[in-house]
């Protein structure tokens, strides 16, 4: 979320990757450009910090300069359930250093969101040709959505067929990391990398004014204090199912948690 969030990723991600011995690192970057969208230069920053794949969401196209870049960078994803023919990719297969293949899928919910294709139907089509333990050794789903009910329903719908479903979009880490009955890891929202002395990453005065007065005011801008990095740590077994899922929180204000390895 904005410059402070990018600074937190750049500061903490290299150390976390080494400490956690991460085989793959996925970063949602859709609010990284001044709080809305992403640019090519910011993509390069995030890759240099250690990301293998970048996901987005409903603000994927907010910075117009990024639009043609989506077709040039297969590792920068937009939600897979945009209409057929939309530029860019909704999925990417990352190959680890030891040759394992990890499919990363970016999907987006529809409750209180853009009226795009049904993510449940689209995921069904995707998984007809992408089988866990056959074509790939793990499948990670970034499900970008507003409603926790929709996120939970998607995770249960995909249970046993993907390694993990991790929610993004609401900017606050949820305390519900769990392994579902079929072996799929789930968290309703991983939380933002941003300044938590804010209103979901935005300087407080403007949203408070909007709630109080319901009248237009200045544009919302990202809070620029020291940011906290939030994420999720996942381990899988030989079948690609989740055996461990924990939050990652590093920075001020929130209770910190780094999984022990």
Residues 6+ apart with CB under 8 A from 170: 146, 189, 200
Kindly name the residue from 12, 59, 144, 171 that is annotated as catalytic.
Answer: 59
Inter-axis angle of helices 119-129 and 148-158, nearest 10: 20
Measure the CA–CA gap between 170 and 163, rounded to whole angstroms. 22
* Ordered DSSP codes for 123-190: HHHHHHH--BTTTBSEEEEEEE-S-HHHHHHHHHHHBTTBSEEEEESS-S--S--EE-TTS-EEES--
Measure the CA–CA gap between 113 and 60, rounded to whole angstroms. 13
Is 257 a catalytic site residue? Answer: no
Residues 6+ apart with CB under 8 A from 232: 164, 166, 177, 185, 187, 190, 245, 246, 247, 248
Query: Residue 89 has what DSSP assignment?
Result: B
Residue of 55, 70, 67 whose CA lies nearest to 106:
55
Q: What are phi and psi of 6, to 5 degrees?
A: -65, -40
Q: Are 235 and 242 in contact (CB under 8 A)?
A: yes
- Residue 114, both tokens: 């853009």
Q: Which residue do the tokens 């899928």 mark?
A: 105
Residues identified as active-site = 59
């Amino acid at each position: 979320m904005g410059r402070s969030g990018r600074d937190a990723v750049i500061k903490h991600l290299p150390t976390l990757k080494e400490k956690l011995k991460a085989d793959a690192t996925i970063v949602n970057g859709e609010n990284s450009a001044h709080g809305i969208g992403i640019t090519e230069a910011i993509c390069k920053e995030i890759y240099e910090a250690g990301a293998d794949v970048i996901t987005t969401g409903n603000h994927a196209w907010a910075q117009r300069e990024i639009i043609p870049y989506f077709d040039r960078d297969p590792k920068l994803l937009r939600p897979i359930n945009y209409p057929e023919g939309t530029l860019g990719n909704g999925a990417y297969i990352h190959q680890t250093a030891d040759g394992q293949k990890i499919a990363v899928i970016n999907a987006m919910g529809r409750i209180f969101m853009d009226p795009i294709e049904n993510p449940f139907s689209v995921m069904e089509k995707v998984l007809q040709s992408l089988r866990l333990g056959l074509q790939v050794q793990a499948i990670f789903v970034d499900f970008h959505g507003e409603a926790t009910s929709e996120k939970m329903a998607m995770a249960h719908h995909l249970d046993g067929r993907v390694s993990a479903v991790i929610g993004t979009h609401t900017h606050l880490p949820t305390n519900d990391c769990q392994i579902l009955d079929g072996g799929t890891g789930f968290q309703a929202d991983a939380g933002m990398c941003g300044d938590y002395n804010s209103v979901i990453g935005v300087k407080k005065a403007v949203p408070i004014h909007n709630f109080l007065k319901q009248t237009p005011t200045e544009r919302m801008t990202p809070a620029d204090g020291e940011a906290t990095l939030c994420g999720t740590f996942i381990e899988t077994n030989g079948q690609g199912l989740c055996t461990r899922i924990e939050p990652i929180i590093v920075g001020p204000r929130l209770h910190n948690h780094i999984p022990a390895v």
